A and B are shown apart, each in its own frame.
Chain A
């Protein structure tokens, strides 16, 4: 059974702070994804990684960066948090040879 965990369920940060969101998976999946979920906008891809130290921009990468130093861990970084980054952040993983993505429980981030 795939297990995808995220470091926090709820997070409150101040404008300008550096924020780290971490995702860990235990199934040796090659690919990991970061999405943000906003009402009426669905799931929008921020960044994804297809291998250690490899990353590609998704549809809305501005204001975010990522790090993948180990296969099981994928971090999303908000260099200087802004109020418009208040959202639900979801991590997902999948294998190269199979499309299904497995999601983490999400982190609800509030930036004040």
Chain B
């Protein structure tokens, strides 16, 4: 079946450094790739997403890149701050059918930013 692999599972950086999280997906029909951030004790929230017709998208300190040929996409966080500490999930859409849409999530990356 479809799956999304996410690496690394944990990431520790110093404040101000960059952090990169990578995901690969299996369904060639996937065309939407969101990233969710889940702070401790809170619900996952969308921080950035990208569609298959775009190779890169940036929003302030975060950016996402997509390589459809290789079926992988990455989250880049620059100038990390302690409030970036959280669990990050990537996801890929499952091929559209029946008028509804689903997401397959990666296992998550726990990012710790140390002052």
Contacts and interface: CB of A to CB of B under 8 A. Distances in A.
Instruction: Bin chain A's interface residue count.
Output: 20 to 34
B89 A103 contact: no
Interface string A35-49: 100001111110010
Nearest to A103: B43
A20 to B, nearest CB: 20
A105 B106 contact: no
Contacts of A103: 43-45
A101 interface: yes
Contacts, number: 53
Contacts of A90: 43-44
Contacts of A45: 102, 104
A21 B50 CA distance: 32
Contacts of B100: 30-31, 48, 50, 96
Contacts of A48: 100, 102
Q: Max chain A CB contacts within 10 Å: which of B32, B101, B108?
A: B101
B105 A43 contact: yes
Contact of A42 (B34, B49, B107): B107
A100 interface: yes
Interface string A70-87: 000000000000000000
Contacts of B107: 40-42
Nearest to A105: B43
Interface of B: 1, 6, 9, 32, 34, 42-46, 49, 89, 93, 98-108
20 contacts: A33-B102, A35-B105, A40-B108, A41-B107, A42-B89, A42-B106, A42-B107, A43-B44, A44-B105, A48-B100, A50-B98, A59-B1, A94-B101, A96-B100, A99-B32, A99-B49, A99-B93, A100-B46, A100-B49, A103-B43
